[in-house]
């Protein structure tokens, strides 16, 4: 995107002031002020709150502005001096009006109070797969590629853990989409996904992958299966005692138990119940002799999801 912007700016011989590209002075009275991808961390975490944002200024005075959501292509345009239906809100969000631009990643000092407030504008499962859904062959390769990968000191490898989690989901009566999300909840640890998103927490990398290849609902619950642990520690007195040592160890770095405000905000999310259910299946799927979902069953569930999305 940066290169495309620079090409247009130079073709029209106007100036550029960009967060990513710096400044280009072509001696024009007109300047494009832009953030090519506003909300990069949101995009990486699978939350569709990322946008191109640009303002045209003439002799330093803003004259018009355009914002385009990258996930949906929706655009907002306004001109200085003309009435506009758009305004900004100070970190205010509702289930139908997200607080755009909020970073949705691990909480840390200074941002923890602001996390995890955003809600997607549409139902999460309404979001399409921008790159097209996984094929059966791709899903098989991803899951099989988890074989032998260690799972944080647990007695199972990543593939066993994924298929046990999916089996528990199906056994609990979860729908096909949630079963597939259960199988992919730790896909951020898969080698090809880690290579594509180096340095990101596994839930964030996995959510971004799922957003592009498995749909918005899967992306959301995958992103939230770590926050769901924080939620359960805060709300279920017996939950912490049931966690394995390998799951307890990173809890502090993940933000520790949610406070009352975080609990209320998490519980208000439309898919919070799915995320909590996934977390419980995740915690239980660590038995080397436990039942696992057969790949043929997982592939059939995935195929039904794809067919339903195309219908």
pLDDT at 252 > cutoff 90:
no
Q: Which domains does the chain have, with CATH numbers?
A: 2-79 (3.30.540.10), 123-310 (1.10.3210.10)
Please indicate, yes or no, whether the overall pTM of this predicted structure exceeds 0.85: no
CA 203 to CA 47: how far, in whole Å? 12
Residue 311: count of CB within 10 angstroms of its CB? 5
CA 252 to CA 8: how far, in whole Å? 47
Mean pLDDT of the chain: 80
Per residue in 108-153, pLDDT (tens digit) is 444 343 333 333 333 444 455 656 889 999 999 999 999 998 887 8
The pair phi, psi for residue 310, each rounded to 5°, is -85, -15
pLDDT at 93 > cutoff 70:
no
pLDDT at 105 > cutoff 50:
no
Calculate helix-pair angle for 136-144, 295-310, nearest 10 degrees. 140
Closest CA to 242 of 228, 254, 259, 229: 229
Ramachandran sector of residue 55 (left: φ over 0; alpha: ψ -120 to 50; beta: rest): beta
With H, G, I as helix, E, B as strand and everything else as coil, classify residue 192: helix
Which range has the top average pLDDT, 15-29, 47-61, 76-90, 187-201? 187-201
Q: Give the distance, in angstroms, between the CA of residue 35 and the centroid of all CA atoms in the same chain.
A: 20
Contact assessment for residue 91 and residue 114, using Cβ atoms and an 8 Å cutoff:
yes
Q: 163-182 burial, b for 16+ CB within 10 Å, e for fewer?
A: bbbbbbbbeeebbbbbbbbb
Mean pLDDT of 176-191: 96
């Amino acid at each position: 995107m940066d290169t495309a912007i620079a090409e247009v700016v130079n073709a029209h011989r106007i100036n550029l002031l960009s967060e990513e590209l710096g400044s280009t002075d072509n001696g024009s009275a007109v300047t494009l002020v832009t953030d090519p991808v506003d909300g990069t961390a949101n995009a990486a975490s699978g939350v569709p709150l990322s946008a191109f944002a640009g303002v045209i200024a003439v002799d330093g005075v803003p004259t018009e502005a355009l914002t385009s959501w990258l996930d949906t292509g929706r655009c907002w345009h306004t001109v200085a001096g003309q009435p506009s239906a758009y305004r900004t809100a100070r970190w205010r969000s509702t289930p139908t009006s997200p607080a755009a631009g909020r970073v949705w990643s691990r909480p840390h000092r200074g941002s923890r109070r602001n996390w995890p407030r955003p809600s997607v504008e549409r139902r999460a499962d309404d979001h399409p797969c921008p790159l097209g859904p996984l094929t059966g062959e791709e899903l098989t390769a991803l899951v099989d590629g988890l074989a032998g990968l260690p799972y944080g000191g647990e007695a199972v490898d990543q593939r066993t853990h994924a298929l046990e989690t999916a089996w528990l989901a199906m056994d609990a009566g979860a729908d096909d989409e949630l079963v597939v999300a259960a199988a992919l909840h730790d896909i951020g640890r898969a080698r090809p996904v880690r290579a594509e998103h180096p340095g990101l927490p596994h839930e964030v990398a996995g959510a971004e992958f799922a957003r592009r290849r498995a749909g918005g609902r899967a992306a959301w619950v995958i992103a939230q299966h770590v926050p769901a642990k924080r939620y359960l520690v805060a709300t279920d007195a017996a939950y912490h005692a049931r966690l394995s040592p390998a799951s307890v160890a990173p809890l502090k770095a993940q933000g520790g138990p949610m406070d009352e405000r975080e609990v209320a905000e998490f519980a208000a999310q439309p898919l919070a119940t799915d995320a909590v259910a996934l977390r419980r299946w995740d915690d239980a799927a660590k038995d080397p002799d436990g039942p696992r979902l057969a790949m043929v069953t997982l592939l059939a569930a995935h195929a039904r999801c794809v067919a339903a999305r195309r219908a």
